[in-house]
């Protein structure tokens, strides 16, 4: 067997390699001590490096949820809940005012107080709906940059389509007071007013569709555009339900002012179709009413709502506090530059999705933070307030007329006294009818507002449920953040004590290698002679 001779050069090479290895190991440990990390580059330990990337990603994601998304969602829900609680308080106060007003033994001063209270509460409702969080309006769906109501006067033309059903057709009592409200000390005995008698006072029942908006006359005092009504009718050929205007469409509308007494006309004419733009009402004769009430759901027309009634109308003048139509209806706006914008056209297809705003608050987990205006800030709240205020105002106005006549009667004699007596009889009748109407409307208002209160309370409950769920998620994210940070530390961070010992050992080994190599490297041929 051939023996290998270990030369001096081989020994030198091995010693240098050993020194270099010890130096590299020492440097690695020194780097770990200075960085407190196991690896400084992926090649140091690929397994640790890959695991570190994953854990760092997890920590970053959890930190985003825990430190940013969840607090943002909590703040949004807090603002929403506060606004909804204010809304419930406002509606509750409306119910209280209705309860007071339904009492028949009210004095004029009491009615005036109720009147002012209702007006203030009506204004406050939609102001509450303009609540915002960090510059984003919380009740306007995806349009967080647009307020719920107009913040100032605007002249923008909107064509609005309201999607109703036959439950939207109500019966309204109107009291014809003739010229009673015009009576003054100067004219009570003129040719017209002296003829006023009890027989001139009449109560009229009329069918109406109350639109979401009043004051729908052209801003330039031009004649108001007639609305159109359409509804589903079954096609006699195909048997399918088709949305179309009936033969009595917009061309059949009579446009009247509320001062022209369109109510009596609608009550007398079975075919009446009267639009009152200043009050936002469509008055229906009996035949029109029966036709619309006949719109019913038909099981044979799958996916079609035959009970739907569409009313399309225009409004181009808006005041501060008016609700923006784009948050509620399919509509089209035309601004001063003739720029046309369409909103919510999918509503007309019957497949509109709710505008739900969701936050990512966990791994594959989201939470809804918003409630939309049509769930809690309905148009009907303000319109009901308008009706109640008008009913109460009618009573107050008649009481004022009665007070005037009573004052005139104290000094009147002869024919004037007889005239005032007849006028007083007329006022008493009108006042009786007006009080009866007012009482019934306020009794109805209690029920109506209770429905709106139920809607608001449901939104409050939903908001509270989301907040509770978010709190649980927050606690879980807090725990997960701690867990991932611990795992990340265990994966990346060194054991300082162990590494310090290893480093000291490596230093001693390195020094020993240097000393040994130094002795070997000093040998010459003289050492072998």
Top mean pLDDT of 3-7, 180-184, 231-235, 291-295 is at: 180-184
| pLDDT exceeds 50 at position 301 | no
Q: What is the mean pLDDT of residues 146-164?
A: 92
What DSSP element (H or E) covers 89? helix 70-101
Which of the four pLDDT bands, split at 50, 70 and 90, describes residue 306?
low
The answer to whether residues 370 and 356 touch, using CB atoms and an 8 Å cutoff, is yes
Q: What is the mean pLDDT of residues 63-70?
A: 87
| Contacts (Cβ under 8 Å, ≥6 apart) of 278 | 214, 215, 216, 217, 257, 258
| pLDDT exceeds 90 at position 448 | yes
Could you tell me which residue, 316 or 42, shows the higher pLDDT?
A: 316
- For residue range 450-504, what is the model confidence (pLDDT) as tens digits? 999 999 999 999 999 999 999 999 898 888 888 877 776 666 666 667 767 766 7
Nearest to 46 by CA among 54, 58, 35: 54
The string of DSSP letters for 42-66 reads: GGG-HHHHHHHHHHHHHHHHHHHII
Strands (E), 123-249: 132-133, 136-137, 157-164, 169-176, 202-210, 228-234, 241-244
The answer to whether residues 232 and 252 touch, using CB atoms and an 8 Å cutoff, is no
For residue 512, give the 3-state DSSP assignment. helix
Nearest to 125 by CA among 133, 136, 117, 114: 117
- What residue segments make up the domains of the chain, in order of their start? 13-62+477-528, 150-354
- For residue range 246-270, what is the model confidence (pLDDT) as tens digits? 766 666 788 888 888 899 899 999 9
- Token pair of 13 as six digits: 């090479």
Produce one character per residue of 423-462: b if its CB has 16 or more CB atoms within 10 Å, e if not.
Answer: bbebbebbbebbbebbbebbebbbebbeebbebbbebbeb
Report the predicted TM-score, pTM, of the whole model to 2 decimal places: 0.81
- For residue range 157-196, what is the model confidence (pLDDT) as tens digits? 999 999 988 888 999 999 988 888 888 888 888 888 888 8
| pLDDT exceeds 60 at position 297 | no
Which of the four pLDDT bands, split at 50, 70 and 90, describes residue 302?
very low
pLDDT of residue 518: 67
Longest dimension (CA), the chain: 166
The string of DSSP letters for 329-398 reads: SEEEEE-TT--EEEE-GGGGGT-PPP---EEEEETTEEEE----HHHHS-HHHHHHHHHHHHHHHHHHHH
278 DSSP 8-state letter:
T
The answer to whether residues 82 and 440 touch, using CB atoms and an 8 Å cutoff, is no
pLDDT of residue 363: 85
The answer to whether residues 175 and 325 touch, using CB atoms and an 8 Å cutoff, is no
- For residue range 116-133, what is the model confidence (pLDDT) as tens digits? 999 999 989 999 999 999
pLDDT of residue 496: 66
251 DSSP 8-state letter:
G
Q: What is the mean pLDDT of residues 4-21?
A: 68
pLDDT of residue 160: 96
Q: What is the mean pLDDT of the chain?
A: 84
Percent of the chain with pLDDT over 70: 83
Query: What's the rounded Cα separation, in Å, for the pair 414 and 433?
Result: 29
Give Cα separations from 499 to 229, 462, 488, 506 (angstroms): 85, 55, 18, 10
pLDDT of residue 512: 74
The answer to whether residues 318 and 153 touch, using CB atoms and an 8 Å cutoff, is yes
Which of the four pLDDT bands, split at 50, 70 and 90, describes residue 244?
confident
């Amino acid at each position: 067997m051939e023996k290998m001779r270990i030369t001096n050069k081989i020994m030198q090479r091995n010693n240098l390699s050993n020194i270099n290895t010890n130096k590299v190991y020492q440097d690695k440990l020194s780097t770990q001590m200075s960085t407190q990390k196991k690896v400084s580059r992926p090649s140091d330990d690929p397994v640790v490096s890959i695991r570190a990337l994953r854990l760092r990603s997890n920590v970053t994601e959890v930190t985003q949820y825990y430190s940013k998304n969840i607090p943002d969602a909590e703040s949004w829900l807090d603002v929403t809940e506060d606004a909804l609680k204010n809304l419930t308080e406002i509606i509750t106060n409306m119910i209280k005012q209705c309860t007071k007003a339904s009492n028949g033994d009210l004095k004029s001063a009491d009615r005036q107080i109720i009147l002012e209270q209702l007006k203030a509460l009506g204004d406050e409702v939609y102001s509450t709906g303009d609540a915002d969080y960090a510059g984003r309006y919380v009740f306007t769906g995806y349009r967080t940059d647009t307020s719920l109501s107009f913040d100032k006067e605007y002249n923008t033309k909107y064509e609005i389509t309201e999607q109703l059903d036959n439950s939207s057709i109500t019966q309204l009592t109107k009291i014809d007071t003739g010229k009673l409200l015009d009576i003054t000390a100067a004219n009570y005995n003129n040719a017209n007013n002296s003829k006023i008698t009890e027989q001139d006072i009449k109560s009229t029942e009329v069918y109406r569709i109350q639109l979401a908006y009043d004051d729908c006359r052209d801003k330039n005092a031009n004649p108001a555009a007639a609305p159109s009504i359409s509804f589903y009718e079954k096609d006699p050929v195909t048997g399918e339900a088709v949305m179309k205007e009936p033969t009595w469409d917009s061309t059949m509308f009579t446009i009247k002012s509320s001062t022209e007494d369109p109510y009596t006309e609608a009550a007398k004419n079975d075919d009446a179709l009267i639009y009152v733009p200043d009050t936002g009402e469509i008055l229906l004769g009996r035949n029109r009413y029966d036709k619309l009430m006949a719109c019913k759901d038909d099981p044979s027309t799958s996916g079609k709502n035959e009970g739907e009634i569409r009313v399309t109308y225009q409004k181009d003048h808006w005041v501060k506090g008016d609700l923006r139509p784009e948050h509620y209806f399919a509509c089209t706006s035309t601004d001063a530059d003739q720029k046309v914008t369409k909103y919510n056209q999918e509503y007309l297809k019957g497949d509109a999705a709710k505008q739900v705003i969701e936050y990512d608050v966990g791994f594959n987990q989201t939470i809804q933070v918003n409630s939309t205006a049509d769930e809690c800030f309905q148009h009907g709240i303000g319109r009901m307030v308008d009706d109640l205020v008008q009913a109460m105002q009618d009573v107050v106005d008649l009481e004022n007329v009665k007070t005037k006549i009573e004052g005139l009667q104290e000094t009147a004699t002869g024919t004037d006294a007889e005239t005032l007596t007849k006028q007083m009889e007329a006022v008493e009748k009108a006042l009786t009818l007006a009080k009866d109407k007012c009482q019934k409307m306020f009794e109805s208002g209690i029920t109506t507002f209770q429905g709106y209160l139920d809607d608001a309370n449901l939104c409050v409950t939903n908001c509270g449920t989301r907040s509770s769920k978010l709190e649980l998620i927050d606690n879980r994210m807090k725990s997960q953040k701690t867990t991932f940070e611990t795992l990340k530390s265990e994966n990346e961070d060194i054991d300082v004590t162990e590494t310090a010992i290893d480093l000291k050992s490596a230093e001693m080994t390195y020094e020993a290698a240097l000393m040994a190599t130094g002795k070997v490297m000093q040998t010459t041929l003289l050492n072998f002679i």
